[in-house]
Chain A
Amino acid sequence: MNEGLPLAGVAADRLADVWVYLSASPLLGLTVTLLVYHGAFVAYRKSGFHPLANPVALSVIVLGALLWATGTPYATYFEGAQFVHFLLGPATVALSVPLFEQLARVKRLWLPMAGALVVGTLAATVTAIGVGWALGASKATIASLAPKSVTAPVAMGIAEKIGGLPTLTAVLVVCTGILGAASARYVLDALRIKDPTVRGFALGTAAHGIGTARAFLVSEEMGAFAGLAMGLTALFSAVALPLVAGWLLNWI
């Protein structure tokens, strides 16, 4: 294509070949995900783990900009990133370890936890549906919003059942997690909630795995209760939300 400079043309062709190969292989998506997350985490650490410098938010912004700038479709990126996404399953199973270590306190606190779980989950769902409806969101959007406090794989299943868009729900779940993780310190301080078990449990109920990740950074104890809340919220929501949200959506 560049007749005047054959060498440069060959080099450009080679480069194009390399790009064609890399953009079709999962290697690039996976590598870029890890590199960008690592960079975001370093920035998070440098900020003294400030809740507003959330590494998930930073990574999503940078990766989104990269995909947009290179014209890479999300599906192509996900072929590589799915290996990271897959680990959500084993990580959920791994939550049994901190849970087991806090079991004595879990047994003692089961009633307050059950109450918090039911009230927190239903309040978040009803608020999401109500606000979405009042501000004129479409029905598919409202149905995608309803399960957003639940961990991603479960929330996507619920959204599908009640007429939402599972991939939109995944995004809203991540946004909720980031919002919850970023605001928890301020909200819970304002409510004068000091007990780490309550702080952790509330964070896990409202902001699933991203809230749990934040809680683990504060303390192992807070993380264990956040992880417990995330697991229990997933169980409770999987059963209750299709009924409650489905019923509310019928009225809209």
Chain B
Amino acid sequence: MIPALATLLVFQLIGEALVRALAAPVPGPVVGMALLLLTLVLRPSLLGAIKPTAQTLLQHLSLLFVPAGVGVMLHLQRLGDEALAIGVALVLSTLVGLASAALTMGWLMKRVTPPSDHDQA
């Protein structure tokens, strides 16, 4: 578990350092994810060492959003004043994003990917 956690942190650290050094607009952890993916492609034997810890973290991904969510306390005033606009914008744009992404992907899969290449049409 410790080597796996250290690996994740090292890749995050490399990602953050690269992003700062290159003044790139992408977040450090996302670059870390890409680099670890590349490393796994080059050396698949690493997978076994990282997998259990990675799975544990991902199983509890929801928990990690709780502290940011409690930040709602800081904005009750504004949320109350603009409740209608914020509420409708949140609901509509989430539904539109979900539906448009799903429909686009489904449509492109039918048009671009040969039917034998994926499990379901």
Contacts and interface: CB of A to CB of B under 8 A. Distances in A.
B118 A109 contact: yes
Contacts of B1: none
Interface in A152-177: 152-154, 157, 165, 167-168, 170-177
Interface in A45-93: 54-57, 59-60, 63-64, 67-68, 74, 77-78, 81-82, 84-85, 87-93
B34, B67, B118 interface centre (most CB from chain A within 10 Å): B67
Contact of A167 (B25, B36, B71): B71
Main secondary structure of the interface of B (DSSP, over half): helix
Given A95-B58, A216-B59, A180 B94 contact: yes
Contact of A56 (B33, B65, B78, B113): B65
Interface string A181-205: 0011001100101110111011101
A168 B78 contact: yes
Contacts of A214: 62
5 contacts: A74-B71, A90-B5, A93-B11, A119-B100, A223-B58
Interface of B: 5, 8-9, 11-12, 15, 25-30, 32-34, 36-37, 40-41, 44, 47, 50-51, 53-55, 57-75, 78-79, 82, 84-86, 88-106, 108-109, 112-113, 117-120
Interface of A: 33-34, 36-37, 41, 54-57, 59-60, 63-64, 67-68, 74, 77-78, 81-82, 84-85, 87-101, 103, 105, 108-109, 111-113, 115-117, 119-121, 123-125, 127-128, 131-132, 135-138, 141, 145, 148-149, 152-154, 157, 165, 167-168, 170-177, 179-180, 183-184, 187-188, 191, 193-195, 197-199, 201-203, 205-207, 209-210, 212-214, 216, 223, 227, 229, 231, 234-235, 238-239, 242
